[in-house]
Amino acid sequence: MGTVSDIKLIDEKGLRIDGRSPEELRPIKIETDVLNRADGSALIEWGGNKIIAAVYGPREAYPKHNQDINKAVVKARYNMEAYSVDERKRPGPDRRSMEISKVISEALESAIMVEQFPRAQIDIFIEVMQADAGTRIAGLTAAAVAVASAGIPMRDLVTGCTAGKVDGHIVLDLCKEEDNFGQADLPIAVLPKSGKVVLMQMDGDMSVEEFDQATGMVMNAIKRINQIQRDALKNKFETSTGEVGE
Ligand code: CDP
């Protein structure tokens, strides 16, 4: 969260630096089955983000001491490629990617029927090929589609979006400049059917009223994003079987 005050992020008409209105999402496109050797996969393009999620499993967890006799272990690994950002990122895991991998794993675990696969492991690889703010949420949203497309039983999908505070205004789905120079960034992910919140992190500060406004905006957007996820899965099942797989 930057503090550069001379960058104008909202104009006189209330429009944002990329021309969007406060509650407008960036374009989102999801495609499933983009990798032949994964059990399930999805490519998400969300604004300037381009992220692939690949799922392998469930298979027997190895080494054995990682096994849980009651449920499958869900292991997501979020990785940002060196070339995905303006300034080359040092390849390999770092504190940020480890934290993101952990919160994404936990969010997915609440959606997957892990109790059906004792001693198993489900691996989910999230590769950020192009980053443009909101990658943890875009990666998680794609990962949920990839898990569903692998045929792994789920209670629900996981759908996410961010809201934030920019030039004193609460806006939806921050772009890179808003993320860098805004006052707050609030990524949230939910299980859309139950409305259960499974990921929430915040950077910056906002009042309780602004927080309520931001979460309200996210919850509205979740419905739209969930529909895009479902359409991607529907396309998959329509293409492969000629029927709608709902
Ligand atoms: O991507 P997300 O918003 O989930 O996480 P963040 O840590 O708030 O990062 C915001 C954005 O900063 C990323 O989406 C990237 O575009 C950028 N970034 C970067 O340029 N270099 C990094 N090492 C990390 C993030």
Residue 17 lies in a domain: no
Residue 19 lies in a domain: no
The ligand 1 atom nearest the CA atom of 131: 16
Tell me the CA–centroid distance for residue 135 and ligand 1, in Å.
7
Angle between helices 135-149 and 95-111 (to 10 degrees): 40
Q: How many CB atoms lie within 10 A of CB 135?
A: 23
Residue 163 lies in a domain: yes
* CATH number assigned to the domain comprising residue 74: 3.30.230.70
Residue 22 lies in a domain: no
Residue 2 lies in a domain: no
Q: Please state the domain count of the chain.
A: 1
Q: What does the block give as tokens for 181?
A: 């120079």
Contact by Cβ (8 Å): 164, 171? yes
The ligand 1 atom nearest the CA atom of 162: 3
The ligand 1 atom nearest the CA atom of 134: 3
Domain range for 234 is 28-245
Q: Is 95 in the pocket of ligand 1 (CB under 6 A)?
A: no
Q: Strand 159-166 relative to strand 120-130: parallel, antiparallel, unpaired?
A: unpaired
Residues paired with residue 76 on neighbouring β-strands, in sequence order: 124
Dump pLDDT digits (tens) for 29-83.
999 999 999 999 999 999 999 999 999 999 999 999 999 999 999 999 999 999 9
For the whole model, what pTM was predicted?
0.95
Q: Strand 120-130 relative to strand 49-60: parallel, antiparallel, unpaired?
A: antiparallel
H/E element, 237 = helix 208-241
Please give the Cα distance from 207 to 97 (Å, whole number): 28
Dump pLDDT digits (tens) for 97-114.
999 999 999 999 999 999
Residue 241 has pLDDT above 90, yes or no: no
Residue 13 lies in a domain: no
Q: Strand 73-80 relative to strand 120-130: parallel, antiparallel, unpaired?
A: parallel
Residue 196 lies in a domain: yes
Q: What pLDDT score does 238 carry?
A: 77
Name the residue among 138, 150, 180 with its Cα closest to residue 26.
138
> In the predicted model, what is the mean pLDDT of the chain?
94
Tell me the CA–centroid distance for residue 131 and ligand 1, in Å.
7
Residue 9 lies in a domain: no
- Percent composition of the chain: helix, strand, coil (DSSP 3-state, to 5): 35, 30, 35
